[in-house]
Chains A and B, each alone.
Chain A
């Protein structure tokens, strides 16, 4: 791929690269399995029955399509662009994560792997995985940093109710990065019967492309729904970026529409000069967890921990396709601090009666900056990636309220 591609939608190349990003940087033990996964996915893509079955589950089990909702009061409040919310928080299990998990679990079934492992930060991916494992009768083991286990207690309990084993990871900073290391160690050990269900558009090829494909239903629906509601394409898209799966899902179907502005929002935590999780704005390209991408690291190439108020965003990396979109300039990556996210959390709750996930609140926070500068006929879509039920105890504690 050169710097100015004809299409922004044709990646990755055959070796799994988006420009210099992506690739397959994993131990030899995993390589045969990753190649088998790639083959299985390529076969599934050619099999109409795979998508037919998936569409059925998406409609009747997940509850799709999710609405594209005109946020009238939010629009009035900011006095600029017409703001629409893509309601991924209405999906079964409460976030966009379920779209991807369904696709991967159906692939695991095709590959006859009875044991599913996953890593999770906020717990949303873990809950989605535990849910579909329950639905299809598969063994489920979820790795989660011990710190996240403590701050996302409701989700940990949900996973256990769903029959999953939650393994608290005690290494490193005990958050998502360490959970991913531990999941990879499990996979290296149990590769013969185990399918690793990665929760975002990161990891070795084919995961970034595969997860993107599963999440692209968000953008495809948005396209159709906007056509129906307004008779044209949206003018801008905004989504929060942890690993970047909800963002890639919304963005991808619009990448080749130059009129559509695209904004990803990284977590700036306490600020870019302090502790944060903004890999693109505050990191540089390196190699971790099977791919080359922007990462937080020190001078010597040792990976540093990310920080964000939102457990789903404090990963020190980002999906490789985002790194490429940032370098090519097709998408812009903004940042949002903990404080800004909390403010947006409150604003949406009070104005629209929707309590957003703290992750999604990062995307909403940037509406305050972008929307007022736009004309009234500017159509802005914000991805509401998840609902805030899981964050209520944490936010209450910050506000000094005991539940």
Chain B
């Protein structure tokens, strides 16, 4: 049986293009508006969705995602509510793969078994947990795989050929290549180096490789889509959310529309990435 993630990457590949993976923060700027944004993403051209689980101390994230997490927490978001968002989303969308992304502590406190059970029931397809390297696989990665969820691992420019096999060993769904040594939303990557890195990773795995960190515009998306199987955009989207808010940090009528406008542009960028269809 193929997972939703595998099915989607196969479909996108058949179209001869890369997938657009969009990251938004669960509960940002509030539960209802976050749900509206989530529901609008596939229609605007998102092929996969990453939903952030807000955390008080996101040590690998830059100011935009850090601020989005704090907005969500301030608005009362909890891990339980984030799973609630996914369940609501699944009522109307059975096909778009959805991956939760965040840090380990809230999951650990929720209880790993309870979390995996509830995530499965809500319709989560995969997990990205930034502070769980392969060295800590026993914590969540192995139980998640057992529970039928994909565990998506980050590979970075510091992950050399010697270490790659360890990183890839229990990875499934796709590999997330972090295009810069740095935090989210920081530097624009060197696209040449990125395509070389993607090629290097592909020598080690048949999994799709999605590239993120620093991709902000349709042009960036196009450049990355030339070599990668997926393009991840996060900080640019949460910044768009922020810029649409009123003085009390509440959603306005512009919030959903400005996010979907950027997603449309990015989707167009991704679709023009490979002039000749693959294979």
Contacts and interface: CB of A to CB of B under 8 A. Distances in A.
A114 interface: no
A23 interface: yes
Nearest to A23: B136
Given A24-B133, A32-B159, A303-B57, A192 B181 contact: yes
A303 B60 CA distance: 16
Interface in B67-123: 73, 78-80, 103-110
B207 interface: no
A31 B133 contact: yes
A394 interface: no
Q: Which of B59, B62, B73, B109 has the most CB of A within 10 A?
A: B59
A40 to B, nearest CB: 16
Interface extent on B, as a size class? 35 or more
B130 A303 contact: no
Given A189-B182, A300-B79, A286 B57 contact: no
A207 to B, nearest CB: 14
Interface stretch (A91-99, A287-295, A378-386): A287-295
Interface in A3-37: 15, 23-33
A300 B106 contact: yes
A28 B177 CA distance: 11
Interface stretch (A104-112, A177-185, A271-279, A327-335): A177-185
B132 A177 contact: no
Nearest to A305: B56
B153 to A, nearest CB: 7
Interface of A: 15, 23-33, 171-172, 177, 181, 184-185, 188-192, 286-290, 292, 295, 297, 299-304
Q: Which 9 A-B pairs have the closest CB atoms?
A: A301-B109, A301-B106, A189-B182, A27-B60, A302-B56, A184-B59, A29-B156, A25-B131, A300-B78
Given A28-B155, A29-B60, A300-B80, 19 more contacts: A24-B135, A24-B136, A27-B59, A27-B60, A27-B131, A28-B178, A31-B133, A31-B163, A184-B59, A185-B60, A185-B62, A188-B60, A190-B181, A286-B105, A287-B103, A289-B59, A295-B105, A301-B105, A301-B108
17 contacts: A15-B135, A25-B104, A28-B155, A28-B178, A29-B156, A29-B158, A177-B57, A185-B59, A190-B181, A192-B158, A287-B108, A288-B105, A300-B79, A300-B109, A301-B106, A301-B107, A304-B56
